[in-house]
Structure 1
Amino acid sequence: MATSQKPFQLVVFGASGFTGQFVTEEVAREQADPQRTSPLPWAVAGRSRENLQRVLERAAHKLGRPTLLSEVGIIICDITNPASLDEMAKQTSIVLNCVGPYRFYGEPVVKACIENGASCIDICGEPQFLELMYWKYNQKAAEKGVYIIGSCGFDSIPADLGVIYTKSKMNGTLTGVESFLSVHSGPEGMCIHDGTWKSAIYGFGDKQSLQKLRNSANLKPLPIVGPKLKRRWPICYCRALSSYSIPFLGADVSVVKRTQRYLYENFQNSPVQYAAYVAVGGIASVIKLMFAGLFFLIFVRFGLGRQLLIKFPRFFSFGYFSKQGPTQKQMEASSFTMTFFGEGYNEHSGGDKNKLSVKICTQVKGPEAGYVATPIAMVQAAMTLLNETSNLPKSGGVFTPGAAFCHTKLIDRLNRHGIEFSVISSTEV
């Protein structure tokens, strides 16, 4: 990673936003870690000094660290002011960008970081933005020796590193993986801040742009090793989890495919086929989600419909999204499990790649996904970027988490911070 004498190692941009406040708390925890052997100079950045101070005061109170306000720098900058973004990027080694939707606000930050020698990590779950940044800025970032790493939150570190972890634990060649996300909530249910809802609305409302981008890229399809992974019906029953499931519509499939392409093209690794699903429980949950999905897909097609979806997130999402986001109690009672079912072959298959002879089941478990696990994943990705320079890709560029961190100890870091990777079973057929 490009290094220079800058006053800060990390800057949390958008620290006073809903997700940014939790990322700020997580950096403060990392700074105070008793195992830390070196200082971690860092800052928060955003439009309002008062709001940034309020976030630091809240973090100081929550963590019992009254000196936090005097220890953390404050940088005033605005996404609409490129010069202020340049000033922010000049002062830090890594920007943790929490300002979304990224399709509207992400590119100026990427550009400022590359031009001023700072790496950038975001928590984007928007495939169009992630893929566009690769095509526009990969070469420029490589020339500057900086790392632009997208989707370093719940989207899509558990999925991307989960596939890499599953492959590393497989006694043979992994050919295909299906993941099933299960979200567990307490008596007060679950809720997601409407920032994620807005990103989904804009993404689905403009999905033809993503298709155009992929068509213009004109990439050769990756070779399929082993039998082709069968796609499940939009609603199907998973016996292993005793739950109905639906396809996961986030960035995970896009991110994992990009990682597998990178590993194949740069290390000649056998590419893994991947499909992602969400376990939704019983038939009542399926019906509720069907109605919510139907409303969403109808309304997202036209301008007035998108405005209504944005204005009334709780109504149109059947309570899953709100402008207020989850309460502290809801977050404390929530967790996630992502289960990976992998298949492949080994030397006992007689060299027949179409003869599946090994099955493996792994899991990634963690706390509440959006505002507890996401800050942990983002901050540990940043710490890995700071501390494992020799294990990163040799030159900079625009990377997925799996591409950037496949040879690092990020999984070990996550395990120590409550996002746990484990093998459930491994069998030879």
Structure 2
Amino acid sequence: MRGAGPADAASAAQDAMAAARCWTGRVPDLRTWTYRVAAGGSRGRAVPESPLLNSWRNASGACGSVPARVAAALAPLAGLDPRQRRVLALAMESVPPGEIGYELTLPAHEVHRTLRDAGELLGAAPPDALDARLGALRAELAAALEPVLDLEAGLARLSGAIGSRLPVPPYGAPEPAAPRPGEVGAPGSGLRAYAAGLAARGIPYRMVERARFPVAELAAVRLGALFAFHTDRFRRDAERSGFPNSACDFTAVDARAFARALARDLAGAAPLFGAVTRSDAVRRAHHLASSLERDDPHTNEIAHDGIDLALALGEFRRRSLDLALQALSPRRGEGSALAEALSRCAFDAERVIVQLRTLSSDLSAVESTLPDGVYVDMARDFAAHEAYHLDLIHGIDAARDALSEGAAARSGP
């Protein structure tokens, strides 16, 4: 792998970890199926926290076996915080700002501001000068680290142990941060509340719950919620970009990069979950990306495309929740706390679909029957939908964590 670059090396490392999990015979936990591959799966993408860039934490001097020249090269960037470093790490791999915003769940204008700040620190303020400076910095880092990183020897040992065919982990979507108490998406009456209840129960109860937890079905639910969360991020920024003097600078270029990344990840996930394919979400995601070649993000055409994608994901999520409820047969947990939580989530899933259909109808009515100047608030349900998606994403995570803790305590050290 030497000479292929850090993204390919990180992709191989991720595949190796997936292979190791497979070979040890352990049942993969939910996150193996739904967390995004750090390097972007088989496509290969830079890892913000790669060994090449970890030395930023110690830019004031050499650390361990990393040559002092690395620290010297990175010294101008010592004042950047971890988020800014992640932005610059992806920019160093030529990832466009719109896609960086998608990957790191940041507004596009924050990405641009970070790049401007980094350019000033590196003495390369114009965008084209920054690109050239980042390329030179990456080459300097790679040259300095080549004697330290012996990737060939590591991969040779791995290949001799398990063979040359490594499983490619499933695709996912970037992870939103878990909300804190009092924020949107904090524990309410859904899956996060169920998970909080699990944490307060004893090990025997959690072991019973673990046996009937519908892992595969809820992995699909979580994945659908992840894609819906990012679809709504796009829709929110696209809507705001149409207002004069808006703080949201979501250009057509950034919107296209965001939409392409979202469509790419949906296409990667489709073969793993049949419900994704049947939901028509992949086709609608690609249609949204292609529409941005001719339409601005804030136009009604893009609004309709975004709603259509959100609807497809809503239908996928509802079907996946129905399957999860079916997995809870009367013998396995009908009437249980989990069944009640899933029933509430399924009810909310239907409510989201109705709201999206109503919004689409209102927008169509404005276009066809009402006078100019009438405005439909495209953002009217965003807060409620975000809370719902975050409850699904982090509630499933928290439930699996609580159930895994019970299993670990039972098995002992």
Q: TM-score, normalised by structure 2?
A: 0.26
More strand per residue: 1
Pair member with larger Rg: 2
More helix per residue: 2
Q: TM-score, normalised by structure 1?
A: 0.25
